[in-house]
């Protein structure tokens, strides 16, 4: 979260106790899965900042070097509500960088 903020993200939503499965199946012990729960962070960011934030998250989390450490994806969002309080800060930040 700290690395994303330093790259320009203004906040995130956290979903706790997510699970995933990669190329290798999770090991079990008497039918109980031995995998750890993960948190999912969702960022809604201005499009001009998105690539830098995505690359920063991937580098900090070592997603490309450590299998099972996580993934980061970018999805275009057409519209969002509930973020109006961040719009003023974002517009000033973007103006300074453009």
- Point out which residues pair with 64 in neighbouring strands: none
Answer yes or no: is 69 within a domain.
Answer: yes
- Point out which residues pair with 14 in neighbouring strands: 41
Structural domain of residue 46, as residue ranges? 2-21+36-97
- How many structural domains are present in the chain? 1
Mean per-residue pLDDT for 40-57? 89
Answer yes or no: is 78 within a domain.
Answer: yes
pLDDT at 44: 87
The pLDDT mean for the chain works out to: 80
Q: How confident is the model at residue 37 (pLDDT cuts 50, 70, 90)?
A: confident
Answer yes or no: is 26 within a domain.
Answer: no
Answer yes or no: is 76 within a domain.
Answer: yes
pLDDT at 18: 78
**pLDDT digit string (tens) for 55-98?**
999 999 998 998 878 889 899 888 888 877 777 666 666 666 65
Task: Look up residue 60 and give its two tokens.
Answer: 């900090």
Per the CB < 8 A criterion, the answer to whether 7 and 49 are in contact is yes
pLDDT at 57: 93
């Amino acid at each position: 979260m700290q690395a994303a903020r330093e790259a320009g993200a203004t906040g995130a939503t956290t979903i706790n106790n997510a699970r995933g499965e990669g190329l290798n199946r999770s090991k079990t012990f008497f039918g109980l899965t031995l995998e750890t729960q993960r948190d999912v962070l969702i960022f809604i960011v201005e499009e001009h900042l998105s690539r830098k934030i995505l690359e920063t998250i991937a580098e900090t989390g070592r997603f490309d070097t450590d299998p099972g450490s996580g993934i980061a994806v970018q999805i275009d969002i057409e519209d969002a509500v509930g973020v109006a309080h961040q719009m003023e800060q974002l517009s000033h930040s973007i103006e300074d960088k453009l």
